[in-house]
C-alpha cells in the first residue's frame, strides 16, 4: 500500500555543508533545492500529501546569521515557486506559528497559501516555526476558549494539521533518531524511518526504497491479525 501522507524531518543540512567546508547556509540552500525536487517526485508517485519540517520553533534560537539565511531562502521559495505550484495543482499549507517569523515572510507565506488554495492534485505542507508541543497547548487553549470538552476527533480539529490526513510515514534524514517535537499528536501510529543520509543527499531513489520498506511494515494499530 502507498502512504497517503509522507512527512520529512529534513535534517542534516548543516553537516552536509560542513563536510564540504561550506557555510551552513550553503547546506540549507542545497536542502531547499532537494525539497522542491523531492516534493515533485513524491506527488508523481501518487502520494497526495507531503509535509516538510523545515524550521522548528526551537530552531528560532539559532544564531541570527543562520536565521537570516533561512528566512531569505524561504522568501525566495515563496517568491518563486507559487506560480509553478498553482499550475501543477498543488495546494500549499503552512503549519506552525507564523508570528514567530519576520512579518514580511509571514505575509508572503499567507499569500502563497491563499494563491494556491484551489489546488486539488496534491497538498504540500510546510512546517515553519512549528512545534508539536506548542501546537497541542494552543489546541488546548482553543478548547478552553470554546468552553467545551473535546474527544480525539474534536481535539485534532483544533490542531494546525486540521483537515490533513494523519502522516502514514515519517522519514528523518541526518542520522538522528528522534522526532524533535514534530507532529507529536499526529504521529501516534505513523511508521518511522531514519536515513543515514543528510537531507541534501536524500535522492528520489532513496525515497523509492523507503516506500518499499513502508510496504513491508505491518500496521497493526494495537490489534492482532486474525489467524489464517
Ligand atoms: C535541518 O538541518 C534544517 C533545519 C533544522 C533548519 P540542520 O541545520 O539541523 O543541520 P544539522 O543537523 O546541523 O546538520
Ligand atoms: C529538527 O532538526 C527540526 C527540523 C528538521 C526543522 P533539528 O536539527 O532542529 O533537531 P535536533 O536539534 O537535532 O533535535
Ligand atoms: Mg539538525
- Per-residue pLDDT of 182-205, as tens digits, reads 999 999 999 999 999 999 999 999
User: Domain residue spans in the chain?
Assistant: 5-216
Active site residue 11: yes
Do 76 and 105 contact (CB within 8 A), yes or no? no
Looking at residue 145, its pLDDT comes to 97
Looking at residue 110, its pLDDT comes to 97
Residues with CB under 5 A from ligand 3 (ion): 11
CA distance 226 to 160: 36
C-alpha cell at 87: 499550475
Q: Which residues, other chains included, contact 73 with Cβ-Cβ below 8 Å and sequence gap of 6+? A: 25, 28, 29, 32
- 112-121 pLDDT tens trace: 999 999 999 9
Looking at residue 226, its pLDDT comes to 78
- Closest-CA residue, ligand 2 atom 3, reads 56
The share of the chain scoring above pLDDT 90, in percent, equals 97
Which atom of ligand 1 lies nearest, measured to the CA of 55? 6
Q: Which of 11, 13, 135, 168 is catalytic?
A: 11
DSSP class of residue 226?
Answer: P
- Closest-CA residue, ligand 2 atom 12, reads 180
Looking at residue 12, its pLDDT comes to 98
Per-residue pLDDT, averaged over 23-46, amounts to 98
Looking at residue 148, its pLDDT comes to 87
Which atom of ligand 1 lies nearest, measured to the CA of 16? 14
Closest CA to 32 of 57, 13, 16: 13
- Closest-CA residue, ligand 2 atom 9, reads 59
Q: How many CB atoms lie within 10 A of CB 50?
A: 25
- Closest-CA residue, ligand 2 atom 1, reads 180
Ligand 2 proximal residues by C-beta, below 6 Å: 9-11, 53-56, 59, 176, 178, 180
Looking at residue 42, its pLDDT comes to 98
Active site residue 149: no
In this prediction, residue 165 has a pLDDT band, given cuts at 50, 70 and 90, of very high
CA distance 65 to 28: 13
Per-residue pLDDT, averaged over 46-70, amounts to 98
Per-residue pLDDT, averaged over 98-117, amounts to 97
Which atom of ligand 2 lies nearest, measured to the CA of 172? 5
Orientation angle between helical segments 64-80 and 24-44, nearest 10 degrees = 30
For residue 228, CA distances in Å to 217, 218, 221, 222 come to 18, 15, 19, 18
CATH of 5-216, one of 3.40.1180.10, 3.40.50.720, 1.20.1250.20, 3.40.50.2020: 3.40.1180.10
In this prediction, residue 58 has a pLDDT band, given cuts at 50, 70 and 90, of very high
Amino acid at each position: 500500500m502507498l502512504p497517503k501522507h509522507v512527512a520529512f524531518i529534513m535534517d542534516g543540512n548543516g553537516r552536509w555543508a560542513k563536510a564540504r567546508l561550506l557555510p551552513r547556509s550553503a547546506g540549507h540552500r542545497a536542502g531547499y533545492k532537494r525539497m522542491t525536487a523531492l516534493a515533485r517526485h513524491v506527488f508523481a508517485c501518487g502520494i497526495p500529501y507531503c509535509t516538510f519540517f523545515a524550521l522548528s520553533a526551537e530552531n528560532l534560537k539559532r544564531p541570527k546569521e543562520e536565521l537570516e539565511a533561512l528566512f531569505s531562502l524561504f522568501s525566495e521559495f515563496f517568491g518563486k515557486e507559487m506560480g509553478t505550484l498553482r499550475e501543477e495543482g498543488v495546494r500549499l499549507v503552512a503549519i506552525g506559528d507564523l508570528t514567530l517569523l519576520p512579518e514580511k515572510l509571514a505575509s508572503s507565506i499567507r499569500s502563497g497559501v491563499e494563491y494556491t488554495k484551489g489546488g486539488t492534485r496534491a497538498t504540500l505542507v510546510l512546517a515553519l516555526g512549528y512545534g508539536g508541543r506548542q501546537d497541542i497547548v494552543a489546541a488546548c487553549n482553543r478548547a478552553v476558549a470554546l468552553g467545551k470538552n473535546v474527544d480525539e476527533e474534536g481535539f485534532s480539529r483544533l490542531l494546525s494539521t486540521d483537515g490533513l490526513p494523519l502522516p502514514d510515514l515519517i522519514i528523518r534524514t541526518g542520522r538522528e533518531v528522534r522526532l524533535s517535537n514534530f507532529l507529536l499528536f499526529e504521529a501516534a501510529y505513523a511508521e518511522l524511518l531514519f536515513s543515514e543520509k543528510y537531507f541534501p543527499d536524500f535522492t528520489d531513489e532513496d525515497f523509492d526504497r523507503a516506500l518499499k520498506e513502508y510496504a513491508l511494515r505491518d500496521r497493526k494499530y494495537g490489534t492482532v491479525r486474525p489467524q489464517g
